Structure 1
């Protein structure tokens, strides 16, 4: 049985899991849908009530019925690298590939339907609150007057994009930024704007959840954190040091509930820890990176992903320890 990984060619995060799978003799097929058709080919036959599908990459042919799991990591847009690339060909290729893969009995990390819903930040905020996770006061609006009223109630605000950055398109990332005290919010009418009460950070928290396993890492805020206009840890000008930390029981319960209700097998949660030690939910990326966390903390996240994809115990290739889940 083969593990299928859908991702771009340069993906160090995926490499961490592939190493573990290869070391344990688990067959892996890695492909980028952007190479379909040409570098990647598909075929599916529906005859006498049965489906038989096949994938071909670099001359290697794999039966879709032989897939044990599918990891949708950072796939490119189907047919994007075709000599005849077009929106029509991309849609045709996506329908063919993902439609056939839906006909298999393979487990998904994460299923495309669940992943599509999980990318909506307004829904994330609602689900996090429903799951028992603290969420900062937030407004999404195109009404300048409503934005001004919100700012009057919560004078210390940040602004961030509603959509975030699309998976596989890191160039569109926009940093979370503090709102100026004299902002008049007139520009809000030109597009939906997300305003959120700023949490005075003691630290940034990244909680990576793989199935039932949780890996939390903490990066302490700098002494000048309150003076920074950009409060996004991804754009912090100075070096960031991540260290493993235990997961508070209430956060563990809330994160597990969140992923269960979202029907996700994997999630990378971002929290802001305040001076009282409360972890405030900011977002959950259903295909978030974990490579930088594993490399810096030694947490065996890639091994956990590999084990979930394999569906069986694996012999670890390193001696890194995992924080105990409360």
Structure 2
């Protein structure tokens, strides 16, 4: 049984997992849907109540019926590197590839339908609330008056994009920024704006969830840090990421979130306040983990490889530690 990894060639984080799978003797095929009709080919035949599908990539042939798992890591746009790319060819190629894969018996990390839904930040915030995870007061609006009233009730705010990434090729990260006290919010009328109460944090938390296993890292906020540097991705800090224990409330909420979202993998970001409360910020269903593993030594790549290599249906761990089969 083979593990199929859908990702771009530049994804060095995926390389960490491929190494672990090779060490375990698990067959792996890695391909980028962007290479369809160029160096990647597919074929599927339906007949007599049966289906036989195959993929060719890098000189390897894999039967879709012989897949044990599919890791949708960071795939490119289908057929983007075809000899004559077009929107029509992209749609046709995506329908063919993902449509056939959906009919295989493979386990998904993460299923495309669940992954697509999980990218919506407003949906994330509501699910987190339902799962008992603390969420900072948040407003998403195109009404300047609503923004001003929200700022009156919550004077210390940050602003961040609703979608999380800038629509550019390649996409660029847009930093979370502190809202200045003199902001009049008139520009809110030109596009949906996400305003959120700033958490006076003593640390950032990155929790990587793989199935029922939770691997958390903590980056302390340095004494005297600039309060305007609210985005850990861009803040200058001498503090490394260190392994961290997971409070019971956060562990139960994260596992409930994974079940509610239908995810096998999630990279959760929290802000830890002075009381030790972990405030939910977001969950990236395909978030990076390499930088955390390098700093902390947490076995994230090995844990992902073990999940992908495991036969049979996914088993999610309940908060009490017992296993429960999940579709």
1:263 CA displacement = 0.4
Q: Which residue of 2 aligns with 1:201?
A: 201
Separation of aligned partners in 1, 2:299 and 2:169: 26
Q: Which residue of 2 aligns with 1:12?
A: 12
Q: Which residue of 1 aligns with 2:33?
A: 33
State whether structure 2 residue 305 is matched by structure 1 residue 306: yes
1:196 CA displacement = 0.1
Q: Which residue of 1 aligns with 2:121?
A: 121
Q: Which residue of 2 aligns with 1:147?
A: 147
Kept in 1, the 8 Å contact 2:38–2:83? The answer is: no
State whether structure 2 residue 56 is matched by structure 1 residue 56: yes
- Rate the CA distance shift 1:112–1:281 in 2: closer, same or farther, 3 A: same
State whether structure 2 residue 266 is matched by structure 1 residue 234: no
- CA deviations on 1:171-215 (whole Å, 9 max, x unpaired) are 321000000100000000100000000000100000000001110
1:59 CA displacement = 2.2
Separation of aligned partners in 2, 1:310 and 1:168: 35
State the SS of the aligned residue for 1:292. Answer: helix
Relative to the length of structure 1, the TM-score reads 0.93
Separation of aligned partners in 1, 2:96 and 2:21: 27
- Rate the CA distance shift 1:256–1:168 in 2: closer, same or farther, 3 A: farther
State the SS of the aligned residue for 1:235. Answer: coil
Separation of aligned partners in 2, 1:282 and 1:240: 21
Separation of aligned partners in 2, 1:150 and 1:224: 28
Q: Mark the runs of 5 or more structure 1 residues left unpaired by the alignment.
A: 313-324
Q: Which residue of 2 aligns with 1:318?
A: none
Q: Which residue of 2 aligns with 1:280?
A: 279
Instruction: Map 1:116-195; keep pairs closer than 5 Å.
Output: 116-165=116-165, 171-195=171-195
1:46 CA displacement = 0.7
Kept in 1, the 8 Å contact 2:20–2:301? The answer is: yes
1:222 CA displacement = 2.1
- Rate the CA distance shift 1:103–1:25 in 2: closer, same or farther, 3 A: same
Q: Which residue of 1 aligns with 2:76?
A: 76
- Rate the CA distance shift 1:44–1:19 in 2: closer, same or farther, 3 A: same
State the SS of the aligned residue for 2:147. Answer: helix
State the SS of the aligned residue for 1:208. Answer: strand
Q: Which residue of 2 aligns with 1:270?
A: 269
Instruction: Map 1:205-220; keep pairs closer than 5 Å.
Output: 205-220=205-220
Separation of aligned partners in 2, 1:8 and 1:233: 26
Is the deviation greater in 94-103 or in 8-17?
Answer: 8-17
State the SS of the aligned residue for 2:96. Answer: helix
Kept in 2, the 8 Å contact 1:74–1:168? The answer is: no
Kept in 1, the 8 Å contact 2:166–2:174? The answer is: no
Kept in 2, the 8 Å contact 1:76–1:168? The answer is: no
Matched residues, number: 313
Separation of aligned partners in 1, 2:228 and 2:282: 20
Q: For the aligned residues, what is the CA RMSD?
A: 1.7
1:169 CA displacement = 6.5
Separation of aligned partners in 2, 1:36 and 1:167: 23
Q: Which residue of 2 aligns with 1:44?
A: 44
State the SS of the aligned residue for 1:231. Answer: coil
1:35 CA displacement = 0.6
1:168 CA displacement = 11
Q: Mark the runs of 5 or more structure 2 residues left unpaired by the alignment.
A: 312-320, 322-327
Separation of aligned partners in 1, 2:168 and 2:46: 32
Q: Which residue of 1 aligns with 2:317?
A: none
Q: Which residue of 1 aligns with 2:316?
A: none
Separation of aligned partners in 2, 1:99 and 1:301: 30
Kept in 2, the 8 Å contact 1:74–1:167? The answer is: no
- Rate the CA distance shift 1:61–1:295 in 2: closer, same or farther, 3 A: same
Relative to the length of structure 2, the TM-score reads 0.93
State the SS of the aligned residue for 1:238. Answer: coil
